[in-house]
Structure 1
Amino acid sequence: MGGQAETGILCKNELAEAIRDGKITTVIIAICDMQGRLMGKRLTAEYFLQNGLEHGTHFCNYLLGTDMEMNTPAGYLHMNWANGYGDWTARPDWSTLRVIPWLEKTAMVLADVVDEKTGELIEIAPRSILKKQIQRAEDMGYRLCMASELEFYLFKDTYEEIHEKGYEAMRPAGHYNEDYNLLQATRNEPVYSKFRNYMTQSGIPIEASKGEAWIGQHEVNIRYADALTSADRHVMFKHGIKEISIQDGYSVTFMAKPDHRWTGSSGHIHVSLWDLEQQQNLFYDAQSELYHMSEKMRHFLGGVMKFTPDFTLFFAPNVNSYKRFAPDSWAPISIVWSRDNRSAGFRIVGDKQNLRFENRITGADINPYLAYAAMIAAGLEGIEQQIEPPAEFKGNAYGAKKVTQIPRYMYEAIDWWSNSETVKKLLGEAVANHYEHTARVEQQAYDRVVTSWERARYFEQG
């Protein structure tokens, strides 16, 4: 199978050879839905080989118009009963073709969502949204390098066991805070090593893993790359370690705040701006006295900071996302920047070719295509408008006064989004309207539910 044993990445000819040799018997074609999940089909390798599938495979367009539970709420322009819930096409991006080492004789390729007749990208699809912003950057002469840091909780229960227990009395895989603690992490190293090694074998290079700031919480750092490659790695990593956990009788969650007593799980995003040849980090200026931040870096950061409230729905996409934002919680509450300060929403790190900034607002529950797209769109707007960021915040940002705060509830983020001309301008009205409706559906679903907390509080005393 060629050189894929080292990287996991295949070309189409290597895939065909592996199929003929019996080394691959299943080919997965996957798209990313609005919630950041992989959806698709498992094809027999023989069928795949005979039909080529150059143009992809069909799927029902409702996959980009569901809620988290796969219900089909009314109100979407493209997907509804009046239009018959027709088909779109998943067109493989062959640069993403790879072996999946934790599944037997299996390869996977990610696909773009396209119109069956025209072959044009469907603009509301998450990968399409990111590709539009990448093209805008390239038209301006820029390339983006990005990377994700993902935190998650590991449990000694299966998903089925947790479901049967009503998502109560879950057993985190540990019994004390394991932040950087090698002894506690050793207890779960058999599964963590699979996460790292299987991912690297499948072409998703992992830099490191470490214990995080609560019982059973862990973090994995994925190697940086261009924006699209990093977003692809992000969704495949999340999907993959869930599958590995299922095989070993564990479960993981990327929920932003699984329990109000626990530390939230972040999905920090690192970003830097490069020339088209990716030879020069345009964020770095040796002559700048402000941490060597170039004018482009200041303006990019200024745009991201100015428009963070507008784009918060892409940084915090679920009702639960907002419960992560709390004082002294390792998750920020203020839209400020600092040099190497973990209480700030944006942290400047690195130097020279490594100079970049980290978005600490984003949680582990983000859809990376959408969060990346929002950062790029806002940052490029900052460059075009020459938006200067506010002065650096020094000290404990949890106590910051007279600074812009991150929207604290989903309905506030919906208001920012719906009233934002910038969102409509940069993403397009169709995308803005589609994802506003998705957020309203999510908020309304939450508002209708009576929780166990409410019963315990009001049943007798209310």
Structure 2
Amino acid sequence: MRSQLVYSTRRYISSNWTFQKGKLTLQKLKDKSTIDETINQVNVVFPDQFGRLTGLKLNAEYFADEVEKHQKQSTSEKESLPFFEYKYNPFRFDVQGKPITFDDDVKLSKSIRLVPDLDTLREQPWLSKEAVVMADVYDIETDKKIKFAPRNLMKETINQLNFSKDLDQVKSQIMFSFVLHKLGKEEKDQHHNSHKGMLTLEQGWGEVLDDCKKSLHNIGIPVQAKDQTHINNQFRFHLRQVQGNLLSQCDMFHLGKHAMKFIGYTHQYDISSLPIDSSKNPNDLILNLEGMEIHPSVLQNILYFAPNINSVRRLRDRKNGDIFKQKGEQSYEIAISAPDVNLYLALSNLLKTQPNHEKALKIPRNYEEALGMFEEYKDNQDSEVYNYYHQLFKHEQNEFNDFFTKWEVNRIY
């Protein structure tokens, strides 16, 4: 068992404190951008299909004026917020930026519209004089929400289920592991502890984690060091438990990862959340859920939880008991995802999938088998969502087939 640096939840009396620090109203943003001059830019962002935050960087005063102008001129709630055109559509490309060939049933414009969700407007303390706001994503040609955009999908799922499930009582908490690597050095050039068989971090790693802890704390994600080791380069963060707002939990996780990645680079470190690290050790994301009934069969659509080749590969030797544990009445520990998961997609699927109590959770032997399982759930998904992700996952399989021979697949994968 590898020794790890564990960051665990701090205890606070008020659960409302979580993810509330640094939040901004429109008036606060105007004051900070004009009077105080402490914020001069707003990042209007959204998670793409891989969970990466992308979007526009706007002048803060311009952003506030545009929002205020639309609120005064609007005749309906839909028109009360401005849209900002993003002249790039990341949904057309794979994780390396290579264009994906889609069939005719998936139509994608070259640009999209972003409509800010003002409830998520907050300071971005790891960047100088910047704020961030999550955005809903619209098709620029039809002016309709893009259903397969992950955050749009999560919001729609919650809206649909709030009448049938008491989601306000659901408590969620995330633990995820990650790896630190010194930038600009190959693994062979980094110090190696032959007795442990692991890489030893150079001086400076403590500053990286301290800065991550401070920045996450400043946006309401408190973490605290509990155990320390100087031996290996794999670490674990526990995020604070959230009650009743699964969308905020997703925002918290993805914004936190974004902050950590940036902070790592400023210290010349790469913070990697790959499913399998360079030492072939798996990185996990463990989701603790309380307050709702969950059957392991709702995890069967595995590609929403493990969307790439290595995500599935790390599950190959797992037992069902390692992936899904019932800790008590309506209390579960789910470890099917890796830290590179798109949590919006994973939770949306978990909430919407109907359990099959007659079937046990089946772990696919490879990605091709996982893709076949995904196709079995076609009728349970919105056609637009299914068509997009089915072709995205097929693209992943095709890329794998193009780069690996059958000999390599049979002996390595």
2-structure distance, mates of 1:177, 1:377? 44
Q: What TM-score results when the alignment is normalised by the length of structure 2? A: 0.80
SS in structure 1 at match of 2:253: helix
1:332-357 deviation line (CA, Å, top 9, x unaligned): x2334xxxxxxx22122367xxx621
2-structure distance, mates of 1:174, 1:8? 41
SS in structure 2 at match of 1:448: helix
Tell me the amino acid that sits aligned with residue 334 of structure 1: K
Aligned equivalent of 2:221: 204
1-structure distance, mates of 2:197, 2:328? 26
2-structure distance, mates of 1:90, 1:75? 23
Shift of 1:112: 1.1
SS in structure 1 at match of 2:39: coil
Aligned equivalent of 2:7: none
8 Å CA contact 2:175–2:287 kept in 1: the answer is yes
2:104 is aligned with 1:147 = no
8 Å CA contact 1:149–1:221 kept in 2: the answer is yes
Aligned equivalent of 2:334: 359
Alignment of 1:431-446 (within 5 A): 431-446=385-400
> For residues 141 and 415 of structure 1, do their structure 2 counterparts lie closer, same or farther at Cα, with a shift above 3 Å needed?
closer
8 Å CA contact 2:174–2:286 kept in 1: the answer is yes
> For residues 98 and 75 of structure 1, do their structure 2 counterparts lie closer, same or farther at Cα, with a shift above 3 Å needed?
same
Aligned equivalent of 2:130: 106
Structure 1 counterpart of 2:369, from 382, 400, 412: 412
Shift of 1:132: 2.1
Aligned equivalent of 1:190: 207
2-structure distance, mates of 1:114, 1:198? 31
Structure 1 counterpart of 2:273, from 225, 240, 254: 254
8 Å CA contact 1:175–1:215 kept in 2: the answer is no
2-structure distance, mates of 1:141, 1:78? 32
8 Å CA contact 2:106–2:384 kept in 1: the answer is no
> For residues 269 and 15 of structure 1, do their structure 2 counterparts lie closer, same or farther at Cα, with a shift above 3 Å needed?
same
Q: How many residues align?
A: 375
8 Å CA contact 2:89–2:112 kept in 1: the answer is no
2-structure distance, mates of 1:431, 1:239? 25
Structure 2 counterpart of 1:39, from 54, 58, 75: 54
Tell me the amino acid that sits aligned with residue 244 of structure 1: I
Aligned equivalent of 1:394: none
SS in structure 2 at match of 1:190: helix
> For residues 358 and 47 of structure 1, do their structure 2 counterparts lie closer, same or farther at Cα, with a shift above 3 Å needed?
same
Alignment of 1:231-270 (within 5 A): 231-259=250-278, 261-270=279-288
Aligned equivalent of 2:151: 127
1-structure distance, mates of 2:94, 2:27? 38
Aligned equivalent of 1:447: 401
8 Å CA contact 1:319–1:442 kept in 2: the answer is yes
Tell me the amino acid that sits aligned with residue 318 of structure 1: N
Gaps of 5+ in 2: 1-16, 71-80
Higher relative contact order, structure no. (Cα contacts within 8 Å, ≥ 6 residues apart): 2
SS in structure 2 at match of 1:262: coil
> For residues 349 and 218 of structure 1, do their structure 2 counterparts lie closer, same or farther at Cα, with a shift above 3 Å needed?
same
2:89 is aligned with 1:62 = yes
Tell me the amino acid that sits aligned with residue 375 of structure 1: L
Aligned equivalent of 2:75: none
Tell me the amino acid that sits aligned with residue 257 of structure 1: I
Aligned equivalent of 1:393: none
> For residues 388 and 211 of structure 1, do their structure 2 counterparts lie closer, same or farther at Cα, with a shift above 3 Å needed?
farther
1-structure distance, mates of 2:55, 2:65? 19
Structure 1 counterpart of 2:326, from 342, 348, 351: 348
> For residues 16 and 119 of structure 1, do their structure 2 counterparts lie closer, same or farther at Cα, with a shift above 3 Å needed?
farther
Task: Give the fraction of aligned pairs with identical amino acids, expressed as a percent.
Answer: 23
Aligned equivalent of 1:280: none
Tell me the amino acid that sits aligned with residue 236 of structure 1: L
1-structure distance, mates of 2:343, 2:399? 23
8 Å CA contact 1:268–1:360 kept in 2: the answer is yes
> For residues 184 and 349 of structure 1, do their structure 2 counterparts lie closer, same or farther at Cα, with a shift above 3 Å needed?
farther
SS in structure 2 at match of 1:361: strand
2-structure distance, mates of 1:270, 1:4? 16
8 Å CA contact 2:177–2:236 kept in 1: the answer is yes
Alignment of 1:10-21 (within 5 A): 10-20=24-34, 21=36
Q: What TM-score results when the alignment is normalised by the length of structure 1? A: 0.72
Shift of 1:73: 1.5
1-structure distance, mates of 2:181, 2:395? 30
Aligned equivalent of 2:297: 306
